[in-house]
Structure 1
Amino acid sequence: MRNLLLKLSPFFLLLALFYHPVNAQNDSIKILSYNIWNGFDWGKDLDRKNKMTEWLKEVDADVIGFQELNDFTPEKLDAWAKEFGHEYSILLKEDGYPIGITSKQPIQLKTKMLGGLWHGMLHVKTYGIDFIVVHLSPHDWAFRRKEAEIISDYTQKSVLMEENSKLMVLGDFNSQSPFDVNYDAQNTFSLKRKQLSDSLRRAKNGPDAYQNLRFGSIDYSVISKFLSLPLIDVVQKKQADHNKKSFPTLVLGNNLSKSEFEKNQQRIDYILVSPNLENQLIHAEIINQGTPDILSDHYPVQATFKYIPGK
């Protein structure tokens, strides 16, 4: 018996190295995108970080794309990821407002892109799926348009040209969707605040000042560009129009009345996927109530898919 175990042990060792568990209950994969707000105040808000860690453990996502990992290093992200059950992580950069990704399975780095982008773009592969994490300009619609062109062009040539490739583009796009035009029309407080902010910038910096609005109106061209690749907006498929708000959360609403706060909310965070993942979509939502009210200024976006191993 001992000799048999010795002969089999290399086999089991190899099996352990190449086996990475997926959700055992229903063979699904859960994806999360989360802007965590200034890296927990550049690492100083340990209470908020601990609360988010506990919440992430409860959610038990398989892959998480993060934005605003301020003050993180690759080592810090790796250590934090292990706290909520992710053995693998990649950070785009260490300065400014970094983006990153964590996963329960090994991550293959494809591209780190900084040139021409406000915060950069991270392209990796895990679970047989290409993930592109983004965080577009928070200040200027024209700059976001250029970013959308750069990222879409890269995506088309580097991912979508490959037959049967599976793709998710996720993050904080700082852009509103043409699907939400009716919702946006009812939430006029946000529009008025942006109009005032833009006018103050113009008065201070002249005609070349950053402008969040396109000639005073919401610009829908950025998300339209990604949808035209084509990519599928998973929350649009699964969540009611009146509940698709991802920013701001209650932590930024303390100085507003309830009515003003509700009319200031908008959707600017997304998970967009290639059409061949649409039929695998089980559930998608912006988790905009409960504990996430106090964890960040953004709400997280979550999507669950049937897991079909990729190549």
Structure 2
Amino acid sequence: MKIIQYNVLDGCQEPGRLSLLKNWIANQQADIVGFNELNDWTKESLADFAEQTYFSYSYLFEDQPSKYRIGLMSKTPIEYKGCLTEHFWHGVIHVKTAGINIMITHLSPAESVSREKEAASIAAHMVNMQNEPALLMGDMNTLSAHDSRYYTEANMLQLLNGNEKLSLKFCHHGTINYKPMQILLDSGLTDVGTSHGFQHSVPTQMNEDAMHAAKLRLDYVLINKALLQRNPAASICYDQETDLISDHYPIVCTWSS
């Protein structure tokens, strides 16, 4: 099984970037691909893109609170299970495909305290799936204590507190706020993207803006105990194409059984 999660920056509207994305995904031979930031995409355009990249099924969360839409493509039928929107900046979708409960989210890009509330809502929802294979993935716009050693060595706190927006986004009371991610981990989820040491998911070579001014890991795949038995592993994908497709690198999760 191979699953990809990708934030494609404002819908990947430019023809050059879109062509790179299409070719890259078509060559990955993945079973499932989740997306953040499908701005201006429709169910029809995603279905067309899915067909061109060898996927038979797709789902687009068109009714989410923001224009930064969440979507999914799969080789197997997709069963819509629900969504979370109340108090969410972007929202969460819950689908089931290939026998796996999949939740895709894009947490708040603003205050870290807002993400604490979003994470708590997700954790409460995932309790209902604890006996079934389930995963949560997406651009979570939050930092993890798993990476704290790297952030300390990189003087990240000083960098973040030197920018008002970055401080608001990642810090609380003057320190890096790891609590949003910790809420999810404490709920029984496992971050399967830690076995390769620190791997940043932003910035890429194509875009280094003020909010992605340092190497940060913002994109995650989190696995529940039922799915953890299949020994999944995840890593950030760096190559010539992903350098140029988006401001985020994709994260790829695989398991063999």
Q: Same fold (TM over 0.5)?
A: yes
- Answering whether residue 6 of structure 2 is matched by residue 34 of structure 1, we say yes
Structure 2 residues without counterparts, runs of 5 or longer? none
Amino acid at match of 2:84: M
**1:228 aligned residue:** 186
**2:254 aligned residue:** 304
- Answering whether residue 16 of structure 2 is matched by residue 47 of structure 1, we say yes
Q: Which has the larger radius of gyration?
A: 1
Task: Quote the Cα distance in structure 1 between the aligned partners of 2:169 and 2:249.
Answer: 24
Q: Secondary structure at the match of 1:281?
A: coil
Q: Secondary structure at the match of 1:150?
A: helix
8 Å CA contact 2:91–2:105 kept in 1: the answer is yes
Instruction: Note the alpha carbon deviations across 1:82-108, whole angstroms, 9 max, x for none.
Output: 111111111112651111111000000
Report the alpha carbon displacement of residue 110 of structure 1 after superposing the two structures with TM.
0.2
Task: Quote the Cα distance in structure 1 between the aligned partners of 2:157 and 2:147.
Answer: 14
Number of residue equivalences: 254
TM-score w.r.t. structure 1 length?
A: 0.77
Task: Quote the Cα distance in structure 1 between the aligned partners of 2:51 and 2:160.
Answer: 39
**2:163 aligned residue:** 197
Task: Quote the Cα distance in structure 2 between the aligned partners of 1:273 and 1:266.
Answer: 21
Task: Quote the Cα distance in structure 2 between the aligned partners of 1:305 and 1:72.
Answer: 30
Report the alpha carbon displacement of residue 254 of structure 1 after superposing the two structures with TM.
8.8
Aligned CA distance change for structure 1 residues 211 and 175 (closer, same or farther; 3 Å): closer
Q: Secondary structure at the match of 1:276?
A: helix
Report the alpha carbon displacement of residue 109 of structure 1 after superposing the two structures with TM.
0.1
Q: Secondary structure at the match of 1:168?
A: strand
Query: What's the % identity of the aligned pairs?
Result: 31
Deviates more, 1:245-254 or 1:65-74: 245-254
The structure carrying a bigger helix percent of its residues is 1
Report the alpha carbon displacement of residue 33 of structure 1 after superposing the two structures with TM.
0.6
Report the alpha carbon displacement of residue 252 of structure 1 after superposing the two structures with TM.
2.0
- Answering whether residue 192 of structure 2 is matched by residue 246 of structure 1, we say no
8 Å CA contact 1:133–1:170 kept in 2: the answer is yes
Task: Quote the Cα distance in structure 1 between the aligned partners of 2:75 and 2:148.
Answer: 37
Runs of 4+ displaced beyond 6 Å = none
Instruction: Note the alpha carbon deviations across 1:189-239, whole angstroms, 9 max, x for none.
Output: x544532332799xxxxxxxx554112321111111111121111111x31
Alignment of 1:121-200 (within 5 A): 121-156=92-127, 158-160=128-130, 163=131, 165-188=132-155, 191-198=157-164
Report the alpha carbon displacement of residue 271 of structure 1 after superposing the two structures with TM.
0.5
Q: Secondary structure at the match of 1:39?
A: coil
Report the alpha carbon displacement of residue 289 of structure 1 after superposing the two structures with TM.
3.7
Task: Quote the Cα distance in structure 2 between the aligned partners of 1:200 and 1:110.
Answer: 35
1:91 is matched with which residue: 49, 60, 64?
60
8 Å CA contact 1:31–1:62 kept in 2: the answer is yes
8 Å CA contact 2:3–2:254 kept in 1: the answer is yes
8 Å CA contact 1:113–1:121 kept in 2: the answer is yes
